[in-house]
Amino acid sequence: MQTRIRTASETRGFAVTRLLTHWSEIVGEATSAIATPVNVSYGKGGMGATLTVLTTGAQAPMLEMQKEQIREKVNACYGYRAISRVRITQTAPTGFHEGRAAFALAPALPKGPDPAAKAEAADLSKSIQSDDLRSALAALGANVISKRKS
């Protein structure tokens, strides 16, 4: 199992798998509850890597203030100054672990007011003499009555 974990983590740049498996112990429970490491990218020289951390948009400002502490704790895990920069990536609360936002179809909106609401609104506006004003008030009344019933 250890070789599978190492192989999977090395594809994302994690030379030390302990960073993934013991994330909450390294950065603390509070930080691990709002953030998860997703990638370590190395520069051309091999030193000064960038750790990418995934969080929700609402938690990003709090995490931004903790970047230096996170970097120090992660470097303590590596045993040397491997990480020189921490980058924060934001995503939606749903899909947090996958790093993707959920795009669901919106519920279908009703086509218009129901016939009972239209009839009630027409009955209420029948005393209006102007045809244009009566039809406009009937349409408005039907929408208001439909909203009240739902």
Q: How confident is the model at residue 103 (pLDDT cuts 50, 70, 90)?
A: very low
CA nearest 37: which of 101, 113, 88?
A: 88
If one counts every other C-beta atom within 10 angstroms of the C-beta of residue 25, the result is 12
Residue 127 CA to residue 116 CA, distance in Å, equals 19
| Cβ proximity of 91 and 101 under 8 Å | yes
**Architecture (CATH level 2) of domain 2-91:** 2-Layer Sandwich (3.30)
Residue 128 CA to residue 74 CA, distance in Å, equals 75
pLDDT of residue 32: 87
| 3-state per-residue secondary structure call for 18-53 | HHHHCHHHHHCHHHHHHEEEEEEECCCCCCCEEEEE
Taking only the tens place, the pLDDT of each residue in 22-55 is 888 889 988 888 888 888 887 776 667 888 888 8
Q: How confident is the model at residue 98 (pLDDT cuts 50, 70, 90)?
A: low
Q: How confident is the model at residue 71 (pLDDT cuts 50, 70, 90)?
A: very high
Angle at the Cα of 14 from the Cα atoms of 91 and 72, rounded to 5 degrees = 80
20-26: list long-range contacts, CB under 8 Å, 24+ apart.
Answer: 22/77, 26/73, 26/74, 26/76, 26/77
Q: How far apart are the first and last CA of the chain?
A: 55
pLDDT of residue 119: 92
Q: Percent of the chain having pLDDT more than 90?
A: 23
Q: What average pLDDT is seen over the chain?
A: 78
Domain boundaries, the chain: 2-91, 115-149
